[in-house]
């Protein structure tokens, strides 16, 4: 196969490219230039986009004996990832730029250009596995949905199908299936993750050293690549401007002031700048960020916990729903559901968060869940956003209080083939402990074991 | 040229001649660098065997000095200069830097008003960047002289600029022929106009020597840049030819070699090899130019035939045969990205160039094309094909066979990727 290896300059993508070469593929290395002004990007060990990183990628490609190109995707990156990052924060939501980068850059701009140029696949250094499963139409009894609406015609009526599944990496600390889920089945079909079988980063480093790749000891990158110094709040202030406003408690009493509501995260405890403690002496957290009035609402921790989540822009992998738009899945191989279309899964709301048990179902976009109310709560998240990986610490959030309050969960609707269409909804009921730190704008990923079933963007979360 | 050659692998033998371009491919990038001639390589290897610092007074030093001075005489003889006018440098870029900075400082030291640097808008970055550096660090004002749609200098703009500001002008720098689109500049007119006002002229002749008749004294220029690896010599050596009466300050200070304006121990093997290459390139120029021009004309015809909407950039050789370098062809393929074209051609075994500078590996729209009025969208899909001594009709045919699909595919990719299609 003709394979384009996306090479960031780090050890993971270098080893992924090496493994693709050794598997016999015709490999070309491509480094993506994502900023015109590369001084804005971090350099050395901390980022993924500096000139030094481009040089490291080129050196690795030379050692592997493969052609190497730099593709300028900076305009697309600015127009999608950075613009989304700013507009989401500005709207009081919590974006994950790594998810958006996978969605719009690596598995859209890069993948589509590669496909147009004649490449069969794009290989990256992500930690996730792709499994291909052959399914046959011989299990009539496992038809999902009410009344077996999508029953196959009978045993042997459908030809054998190959279903590509996205799975967690065995390296649980590095697993990136959460940020990859957004790519969906069509793009998964053109992706390769050569590091999928590696159980530890040390093994990857050893493979790099064995091949004489000088990046073998390069430190891992963290943080947001386009935030030059790790100061997310400063970046937002530079790009969005200072917008002073009030910090109020849940009774509406002004207890402090801020420099821009967009810079606050629901669940945030530190950096509130409140001069005096609450009357009852309890810790206060951000429980709501009202960008329409530029107001930050603070309150006690118990307001921050949810067990219902409504996801929008849902994506489902092949073999999950009874019918997919491409028709590449058949009912027999789908995940079994109950009469209401619910199936059991685990859901995860941040890159390295703990999956929690839930009931999940797909809904068509038109039957999208109704956002529910102010009683929402998310758990406290002590860490300020800028202190950790963006994929690790999304803004814990609850519903915007200006969304229509409604104590009732979304109306039930029977699943249908339309549920799999882009823009459908994902409805989630947590069946165990409530979740902490669920913010509008975050990605929510449904798993069954190691297998990724689908992904959606959190539209609303509440306590029912 | 062996793409697998690695310094970490043992050398298996001594080369006794230049490596031909990779036999699997068509090398159409001679303007980037061209193979060393056998004679130049032999001279390099021979003189690399000998120990001797040309500045030393003992016998080893004298032998090295003799070689360097013979080389100086050979270069001077081939280029119509006096030996004392040859200043050896480590590259064409270094010679350009020495000319721009050294002439600026030297001329301004004579008269503080002389702060203007006049350069054509299509100069190589080795001229433009030192000029703009002087603007940022030494109070210079850079005047970019416009060119026409074929990249030829607007002489009236030069006349007007000098008529208005000759007293404040430090120097004029115009290339003999453009490295991207091959346009030959009216150097003799430039020199005549500047001389009228007493302004010295630097000429970057890196692409011209060996392809066009170049005579330093006859040109009337005050300084001229030459590079080794564009004409069959090694990379890492070049020269600035400079009249003895030209005010020229040093850029590299140290041991006082090369008239005190370019300190540093002379690289005798490189200089010897360079001299042999210059001598031979000039001696063979006429037949070489006729041969590559015929190949180039064939290449242009083929490209126009297989990609009818390809835009030839620079003078059309059919109507203006002397207007561009004989080995140069340059096309814009609207709707295609340069990097896609390069990748697809490379996959097909054809090595070409966008001809313009990269920034961290990212091809930038060429300042030369933009100065010629080529729209930025078309400039993004520009390719230079440059022919040299080892080029054959088979190279041209290979390009013609591959190009239709390459352009079609690159255009398809341009529609989906990069966001600036």
Confidence of residue A359 (pLDDT cuts 50, 70, 90): very high
Q: What is the pTM of this model?
A: 0.83
| Pairing state between β B223-227 and B26-27 | unpaired
Residue A67 and residue B343: Cβ atoms within 8 Å?
Answer: yes
Q: Does the complex come out with an ipTM higher than 0.90? A: no
Instruction: Give the best residue of B340, B351, B362 to mutate against chain A (max A CB count within 10 A).
Output: B362
Distance set, CA A314 to CA A333, B76, B146, B346 (Å)? 20, 74, 55, 41
Q: Between B3, B344, B419, which is nearest A117 by CB?
A: B344
Residue A411, pLDDT above cutoff 50: no
CA dist A344 and A274 (Å) reads: 43
Residue A335 inside a domain? The answer is: yes
- Nearest C-alpha neighbor of B272 from the set B223, B225, B224, B239: B239
Q: Which residue has the higher pLDDT, A41 or A189?
A: A189
Task: Please indicate if the annotation marks A1 as binding a ligand.
Answer: no
Q: Is A281 left (phi over 0), alpha (psi -120 to 50) or beta?
A: left
Backbone angles phi, psi at B27, to 5 degrees: -90, 105
Q: How far is B357 from chain A (nearest CA, A)?
A: 13
Distance CA A297, CA A266 (A): 9
As a whole number, the mean pLDDT across chain B is 93
Residues A280 and A402 in one domain: no
Predicted confidence at residue A37, as pLDDT, reads 58
pLDDT at residue A47 greater than cutoff 90? no
A234 is in an annotated binding site: no
Give a yes or no: residue A144 inside a domain: no
User: Is A152 a residue whose pLDDT tops 60?
Assistant: no
Is residue A151 very low, low, confident or very high in pLDDT (cuts 50, 70, 90)? very low
Q: Which of A255, A282, A302 is the last residue of a domain?
A: A302
Burial class (CB in 10 A: 0-12, 13-18, 19+), B185: buried
Domain count, chain A: 3
Residue contacts between A and B (CB atoms, under 8 Å): 72
B340 has a chain A CB within 8 A of its CB? yes
Q: Please report the pLDDT score of residue A72 as a whole number.
A: 87
When pLDDT is averaged across residues B346-368 and rounded to a whole number, the result is 83
Is A137 domain-assigned? no
In a domain, A163, yes or no: no
Q: Indicate whether A344 and A440 sit together in one domain.
A: yes
- pLDDT band at residue B6 under the 50/70/90 scheme: low
Residues A71 and A207 reside in one and the same domain: yes
Q: Answer yes or no: is pLDDT of B77 > 60.
A: yes
Q: What is the pLDDT of residue A217?
A: 84
Chain A residues whose CB is inside 8 A of the B363 CB are 72
Q: What is the mean pLDDT of residues A100-107?
A: 94
- B417 in contact with A, Cβ within 8 Å: yes
pLDDT value for A323 = 59
Cβ within 8 Å, pair B361-A109? no
Determine the Cα–Cα distance for residues A345 and A358; give it in Å rounded to an integer: 5
Q: What is the pLDDT of residues B100-152, one digit of tens each?
A: 999 999 999 999 999 999 999 999 999 999 999 999 999 999 999 999 999 99
> In chain A, what residues touch B347 (CB-CB under 8 Å)?
28, 67, 118
Crossing angle of helices B393-416 and B338-347, in 10° steps, is 130
Are A300 and A285 a contacting pair, CB within 8 Å?
yes
Strands A191-192 vs A2-6: parallel, antiparallel or unpaired: unpaired
pLDDT of B394 over the 70 cut? yes
Give per-residue pLDDT as tens, A385-399. Answer: 332 333 333 343 333
| pLDDT exceeds 80 at position A422 | no
Buried-exposed string A135-161: b where 16+ CB fall within 10 A, e elsewhere: bebebeebbbbeeeebebeeeeebeeb
Q: How confident is the model at residue A46 (pLDDT cuts 50, 70, 90)?
A: very low
pLDDT the model gives residue A392: 36
Give the distance from residue A451's alpha carbon to the nearest chain B alpha carbon, in angstroms. Answer: 30
* Class at the top of the CATH hierarchy for domain B285-416: alpha beta
Taking residue A210's Cβ as centre, other Cβ atoms within 10 Å add up to 11
| Ligand-binding site membership of A426 (annotated) | no
Q: Is B415 helix (H, G, I), strand (E, B) or coil?
A: helix
- pLDDT for residue A437: 73
In a domain, A425, yes or no: yes
- Give the residue from A49, A53, A131, A58 showing the smallest Cα distance to A98: A49
Nearest to A109 among B343, B346, B417 (CB): B417
Per-domain residue ranges for chain B?
Answer: 41-278, 285-416
- Give the residue from B22, B343, B408 with the most A CB atoms within 10 Å of its CB, the best one to mutate: B343
A49 belongs to the catalytic site: no
**What is the helix (H) or strand (E) element at residue B203, kind and residue range?**
strand B201-204
**Does A225 map to a domain?**
no
Domain boundary among A193, A217, A241: A217
- Read off the pLDDT band of A332 (50, 70, 90): low
Instruction: Find out whether A453 and A188 touch, Cβ atoms under 8 Å.
Output: no
- Report the pLDDT value the prediction gives residue B29, as an integer from 0 to 100: 95
Among all chains, which residue has been given the structure tokens 């933009």? Answer: B370
pLDDT digit string (tens) for B249-287?
999 999 999 999 999 999 999 999 999 999 999 999 999
Structural domain of A411: 304-462
Q: Which residues contact B15 (CB under 8 A, 6 or more apart)?
A: B41, B45
Residue finishing a domain among A274, A302, A330: A302
Q: Tell whether A7 is in a known binding site.
A: yes
Confidence of residue A417 (pLDDT cuts 50, 70, 90): very low
Q: Could you tell me the pLDDT band of residue A53, with boundaries at 50, 70 and 90?
A: confident
The answer on whether A9 is annotated among ligand-binding residues is yes
User: How does residue A219 score in pLDDT terms, banded at 50, 70 and 90?
Assistant: confident
* A220 assigned to a ligand binding site: no
Say whether both A276 and A410 belong to one domain.
Answer: no
CA distance B322 to A73: 40
* Closest A-chain CA to B406: A117
pLDDT tens digits, one per residue of B10-68: 544 444 445 555 556 899 999 999 999 999 999 999 999 999 999 999 999 999 999 99
Percentage of chain A modeled with pLDDT above 90 = 45
- Residue A447 is predicted with a pLDDT of 97
**What CATH number is attached to the domain comprising A251?**
2.30.30.280
Whether residue B75 contacts residue B278, with contact meaning beta carbons closer than 8 Å, is answered with yes
Q: What's the pLDDT at A439?
A: 83
Is A98 designated active site?
no
The pLDDT of residue A224 is 81
pLDDT at B1 over 50: no
Do A349 and A421 lie in a common domain?
A: yes
Q: What is the 3-state secondary structure (H, E, C) of chain A?
A: CEEEEECCCCHHHHHHHHHHHHCCCEEEEEEEECCCCHHHCCCHHHCCCCHHHHHHHHHHHHHHCCCEEEEECHHHHHHHHHHHHHHHHHCCCCCCHHHHHHHHHHHHHHHHHHHHCCCCEEECCCCEEEEEEEECCCCHHHCCCHHHCCCCCCCCCCCCEEEEEEEECCCCCCCCHHHHHHHHHHHHCCEECHHHHCCCHHHHHHHHHHCCCHHHHCCCCCCCCCCCCCCHHHHHHHHHCCCCEEEEECCCCEEEEECCHHHCCCCCCCCCCCCCCCCCCCCCEEEEEECCCCEEEEECHHHCCECEEEEEEEEECCCCCCCCCCCCCCHHHCCCCCCCCCEEEEEECCCCCCCEEEEEEEECHHHCCCCCCCCCCCCCCCCCHHHCCCCCCCCCCCCCCCCCCCCCCCCCCCCCHHHHCCCEEEEEEECCCCECCCCCCCEEEEEECCEEEEEEEEEEEECC
Closest CA to B192 of B168, B169, B213, B162: B162
Sign of CA dihedral B357, B362, B365, B369: positive
Taking CA–CA distances from A49, the nearest residue in chain B reads B360
| CA distance linking residue A350 with residue A390, whole number of Å | 9
Instruction: Check residues B360 and A124 and name the one with the higher pLDDT.
Output: A124
CATH number for the domain that contains residue A314: 2.40.30.10
Does A298 share its domain with A308? no
State residue B13's pLDDT score.
Answer: 41
Asked, for residue A157, whether it belongs to a domain, the answer is no
Q: Is residue A148 part of a domain?
A: no
Same domain, A244 and A344: no
pLDDT value at residue B110 = 97
Pairing label, strands B223-227, B238-242: antiparallel
Local structure of B394: helix, strand or coil:
helix
Specify the CATH number for the domain of residue A112.
3.40.50.620
List, as ranges, residues 55-74 from B with C-beta within 8 Å of A. Answer: none
How much is the pLDDT for A338? 86
Q: Name the closest residue on chain B to residue A4, using Cα atoms.
A: B343
| Class for the domain spanning B41-278 | alpha beta
Residue A331: band (very low, low, confident or very high) from pLDDT cuts 50, 70, 90: low
d(CA A130, CA A194): 9
CA distance B361 to chain A (A): 5
pLDDT of residue A38: 52
Measured from the Cβ of residue B75, the count of other Cβ atoms closer than 10 Å reads 26
Is residue A278 domain-shared with residue A369, that is, in the same domain?
A: no
Contact status of B352 with chain A (Cβ, < 8 Å): no
More confident residue, A384 or B384: B384
Its sign, for the CA torsion A447, A448, A454, A458, is: negative
Q: Does B358 touch chain A (CB under 8 A)?
A: yes
């Amino acid at each position: 196969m003709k394979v384009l290896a996306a090479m960031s300059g780090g050890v993971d993508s270098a080893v992924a490219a090496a493994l693709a070469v050794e598997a016999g593929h015709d490999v070309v290395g491509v480094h993506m230039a994502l900023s015109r002004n590369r001084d804005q990007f971090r350099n050395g060990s901390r980022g993924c986009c500096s000139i030094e990183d481009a040089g490291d990628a080129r050196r690795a490609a030379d050692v592997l004996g493969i052609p190497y190109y730099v593709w300028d995707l900076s305009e697309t990156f600015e127009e999608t990832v950075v613009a989304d990052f700013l507009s989401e924060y500005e709207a009081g939501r919590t974006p994950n730029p790594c998810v958006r980068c996978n969605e719009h850059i690596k598995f859209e701009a890069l993948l589509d250009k590669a496909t147009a140029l004649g490449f069969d696949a794009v290989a990256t250094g992500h930690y996730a596995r792709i499994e291909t499963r052959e399914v046959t139409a011989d299990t009539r009894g496992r038809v999902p949905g009410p009344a077996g609406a999508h029953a196959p015609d009978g045993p042997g009526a459908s030809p054998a199908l190959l279903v590509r599944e996205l799975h967690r990496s065995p390296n649980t600390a590095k697993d990136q299936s959460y940020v990859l889920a957004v790519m969906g089945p069509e793009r998964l079909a053109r992706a390769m993750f050569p590091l999928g079988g590696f159980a530890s980063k040390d093994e990857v480093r050893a493979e790099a050293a064995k091949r004489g790749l000088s990046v073998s000891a390069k430190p891992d990158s963290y943080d947001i690549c386009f935030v030059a110094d790790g100061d997310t709040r400063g970046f937002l202030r530079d790009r969005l401007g200072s917008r002073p406003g009030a910090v109020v408690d849940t009774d509406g009493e002004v207890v402090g002031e801020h420099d821009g509501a967009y810079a606050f995260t629901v669940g945030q405890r530190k950096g509130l700048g409140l001069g005096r403690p609450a009357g009852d002496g309890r810790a206060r957290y951000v429980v709501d960020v009202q960008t329409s009035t530029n107001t930050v609402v603070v309150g006690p921790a118990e307001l921050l916990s949810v067990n219902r989540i409504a996801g929008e822009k849902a994506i489902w992998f092949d073999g999950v729903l009874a019918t997919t738009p491409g028709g590449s899945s058949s009912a027999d191989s789908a995940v079994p559901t109950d009469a209401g279309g619910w199936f059991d899964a685990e859901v995860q709301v941040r890159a390295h968060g703990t999956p929690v048990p839930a009931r999940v179902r797909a809904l068509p976009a038109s039957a999208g869940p109704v956002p529910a109310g102010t009683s929402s709560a998310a758990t406290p998240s002590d860490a300020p956003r800028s202190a950790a990986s963006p994929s690790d610490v999304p803004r814990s959030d609850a519903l915007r209080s200006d969304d229509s309050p409604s104590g009732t969960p979304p109306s039930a609707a029977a699943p249908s083939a339309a549920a799999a269409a882009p823009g459908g909804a994902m409805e989630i009921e947590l069946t165990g402990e409530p979740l902490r730190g669920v913010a509008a704008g975050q990605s929510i990923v449904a798993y069954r074991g190691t297998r990724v079933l689908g992904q959606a963007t959190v539209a609303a979360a509440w306590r029912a | 040229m062996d793409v697998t050659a690695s310094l970490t692998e043992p050398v298996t033998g001594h080369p006794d001649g230049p490596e031909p371009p990779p036999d699997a491919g068509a090398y159409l990038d001679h303007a980037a660098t061209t193979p060393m001639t056998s004679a130049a390589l032999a001279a390099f290897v021979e003189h690399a065997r000998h120990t001797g610092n040309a500045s030393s007074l003992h016998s080893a030093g004298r032998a090295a000095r003799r070689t360097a001075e013979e080389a100086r005489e050979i270069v001077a003889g081939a280029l119509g200069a006096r030996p004392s006018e040859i200043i050896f440098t480590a590259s064409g870029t270094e010679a350009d830097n020495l000319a721009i900075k050294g002439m600026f400082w030297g001329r301004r030291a004579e008269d503080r008003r002389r702060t203007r640097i006049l350069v054509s808008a299509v100069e190589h970055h080795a001229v433009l960047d030192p000029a703009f550096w002087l603007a940022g660090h030494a109070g210079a004002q850079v005047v970019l002289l416009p060119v026409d749609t074929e990249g030829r200098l607007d002489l009236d703009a030069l006349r007007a600029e000098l008529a208005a500001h000759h007293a404040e002008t430090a120097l004029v720098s115009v290339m003999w022929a453009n490295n991207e689109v091959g346009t030959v500049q009216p150097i003799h007119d430039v020199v005549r106009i500047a001389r009228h006002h007493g302004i010295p002229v630097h000429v970057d002749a890196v692409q011209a020597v060996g392809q066009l008749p170049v005579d330093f004294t006859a040109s009337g220029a005050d300084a001229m840049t030459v590079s080794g690896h564009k004409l069959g010599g090694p990379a890492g050596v070049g020269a600035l030819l400079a009249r003895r009466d030209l005010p020229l300050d040093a850029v590299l200070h140290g041991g006082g070699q090369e008239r005190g304006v370019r300190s540093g121990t002379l690289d005798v093997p490189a200089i010897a090899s360079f001299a042999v290459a210059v001598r031979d390139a000039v001696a063979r120029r006429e037949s070489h130019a006729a041969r590559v021009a015929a190949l180039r004309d064939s290449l242009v015809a083929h490209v126009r035939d297989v990609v009818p909407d390809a835009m030839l950039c620079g003078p059309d050789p059919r109507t203006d045969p002397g207007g561009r370098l004989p080995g140069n062809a340059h096309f814009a393929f609207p709707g295609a990205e340069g990097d896609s074209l390069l990748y697809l051609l490379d996959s097909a075994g054809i090595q070409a160039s966008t001809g313009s500078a990269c920034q961290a590996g990212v091809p930038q729209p060429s300042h030369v094309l933009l100065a010629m009025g080529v729209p930025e969208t078309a400039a993004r899909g520009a390719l230079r094909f440059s022919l040299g001594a080892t080029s054959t009709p088979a190279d041209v045919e290979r390009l013609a066979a591959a190009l239709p699909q390459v352009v079609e595919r690159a255009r398809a990719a341009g529609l989906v990727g990069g966001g600036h299609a």
